Amino acid sequence: METKYETHQHDVLVIGAGGAGLRAAIEASAMGLSVGLVCKSLLGKAHTVMAEGGIAAALGNVEAKDDWKVHFRDTMKGGRYLNQWRMAQLHAMEAPDRVNELEEWGALFDRTKDGRILQRNFGGHKYPRLAHVGDRTGLEMIRTLQQHGVHTGMHVYMECTITRLLGSAPSGTGASATPGRVDGAFGYWRENGKFVVFESKAVVLATGGIGRAFKINSNSWECTGDGQALAYLLGAELLDSEFMQFHPTGMVWPPSVRGTLITEGVRGEGGTLRNKDGRRIMFDYIHPLYANETADTEAEADRWLEESTRGTGGSARRTPDLLPRDIVARAIHTEVKAGRGSPHGGVFLDIFSRRSAEEIKKKLPAMYHQFKELGDVDITKEPMEVGPTAHYTMGGIRVDPETQETRVRGLFAAGECAGGMHGANRLGGNSLSDLLVFGRIAGLFASKYAKSTNARRADAAQIDVYAREALEPFDREEGVNPFAVHEDLMNVMQTHCGIMRNEKDLLTCLRELDRLKGAASRTKIAGGNRHYNTGWHEVFDLRNMLIVSEAMARSALARKESRGGHARDDYPEMGPAFGKINFVCRSGRTGMDLDAVPLPPMPDEIAKLLKEEKQA
């Protein structure tokens, strides 16, 4: 084992270089601090580039009636009112400034005829709200943040895996409680396997999602719950872990690309979902919560699309094809289960009969090329086959809504790895604005914390323990293949903790996760070479995914209702008592502890906004 470690010191360390991480690093650099940005892959390759539809912000460029209050109500309603209300409010209020800021930094958005940022319709949003760049918005966002960020003086560390956060966990209760503190991070260079230490006053986690825990998913290889697991291991809490969003439209054919995302923008531009008989399915699945505002005939839905596209407004109600994702995904699941699905186990998404070939290629260029190249389907001439795919976790690290700080002092989180903003279900487009809004807030308050505290050297003994831990898979005489355990995990989660759940499946899931944890503790890496050792990388990804998977299954078992991204066929309705609590997971003495915590109280003026919506 190495006895000396490469060491870097910064005021603020940001782990993750997607939208939230870059925005946090930019903000911290603007505060005049030394900032380190660590990414698991290459800069510019984060999963944010996969986001297609747009950035949700109440700019009011297409519909002047739109404002932050409407956006806030839509977000709370979409989250079935389990959102941390203050996060949803801050998000709705600040999103327009963040989009305009992105434009000032060089983002090239699609335009209205009078030159303003164009906005499109998306599921669950009352008005056209998504600022977009065709169907490649995430790529443009990362390009803009990256180009702006590299000139701010931040230090970028690419292809580096962080295996542990350094510091102390919270301990005790009441007057004797200590909050814990983060002192940096420990990891290794993926290229050569050499260890590296980052000492930092503050750490921002922005590592993204957990989709790779599922067999069918839309996520890139980085999305293995790293930030959530790192925070949990240092004593932070995980919130709302039961809520996993299955995006309704992923590719279902060919098998090699099953789960690959198809943007909601296809439906935003007029696409319709049809079963094998050619019947539009969503009119049969209008949720009571959205009944008053949703068209119940094809004629009204088409009239709404025409009025919305022209920006003229009118009396027609929204098409049910743009209901929130949880409703649409379960509708597709039900159609397939009833034998009305497409040949390869999905339904049909039709845009070719709704828009001209020229419009499709202009508005949805990535979708056109994706299907042409991967599925040999010309979406200007024939429908797509689509089905649900594990896409986004609404749960994540529990943070303070105002600062994004966890219960570990100096440890902050933003973006998908942080929980609370989206409640039980995320609306499309809210993810990219979430990254910008809370990335900035996390960077700002991490900087303020760093300025107010003295640097502390990392504990050398703790580093040695983590170094030995990292090398254990090389030292075992025999063991299991981590890739085989990961494959097993994906099948377990897909089968027993997927789009529809019940008590029997969830109990089976927890038993299987215990078995897999045992297997993961015995993983063996063939050969002693640490250079580009993908098996070694998989060991840490697996550990992280097992932590977040257990949190999801435990929370899902406790939530005996169906709400948003959590659906149980043994408890198919929303339960009033469960609408008042969030579930929180934390590391306990004998394993993972689960607690129900009440929703934070809401000021009267905010409650009035939601009451008006519920009565509308």
The verdict on whether 267 is a catalytic residue reads: yes
Distance CA 188, CA 269 (A): 45
Closest Cα to residue 52, out of 266, 343, 216, 305? Answer: 266
Distance CA 161, CA 486 (A): 18
The whole-number pLDDT of residue 175 equals: 64
The whole-number pLDDT of residue 3 equals: 47
The whole-number pLDDT of residue 375 equals: 86
Beta strands of 535-588 (E only): which ranges?
581-587
Kindly state the tokens that stand for 525. Answer: 């890496």
The whole-number pLDDT of residue 176 equals: 66
Q: What is the CATH number of domain 248-389?
A: 3.90.700.10
Distance CA 275, CA 329 (A): 13
Q: Could you say which of 125, 267, 274, 325 is catalytic?
A: 267
The whole-number pLDDT of residue 265 equals: 85
Stretches in the chain below the pLDDT threshold 70:
1-3, 173-176, 311-312, 612-616
What lies within 8 Å, CB to CB, of 419 at 6+ separation is: 238, 239, 240, 241, 394, 395, 396, 397, 398, 399
The whole-number pLDDT of residue 2 equals: 45
pTM of the model: 0.94
Q: Where are the alpha helices (DSSP H) in 397-459?
A: 430-452
Bridge partners of 89?
none
Q: Residue 402 class from Cβ within 10 Å (0-12 exposed, 13-18 middle, 19+ buried)?
A: exposed
Q: Could you say which of 23, 190, 247, 407 is catalytic?
A: 247
The verdict on whether 247 is a catalytic residue reads: yes
Do 6-245+391-460 and 248-389 come out as alike in CATH topology? Answer: no
Q: Delimit the domains of the chain by residue range.
A: 6-245+391-460, 248-389
Grouping H, G, I as helix, E, B as strand and the rest as coil, residue 203 is strand
Superfamily of domain 6-245+391-460 in the CATH hierarchy: FAD/NAD(P)-binding domain (3.50.50.60)
Closest Cα to residue 40, out of 4, 14, 8? Answer: 14
Residue 152 CB neighbour total at 10 angstroms: 13
pLDDT digits (tens, 9 = 90+) for 560-581: 999 999 999 999 999 999 999 9
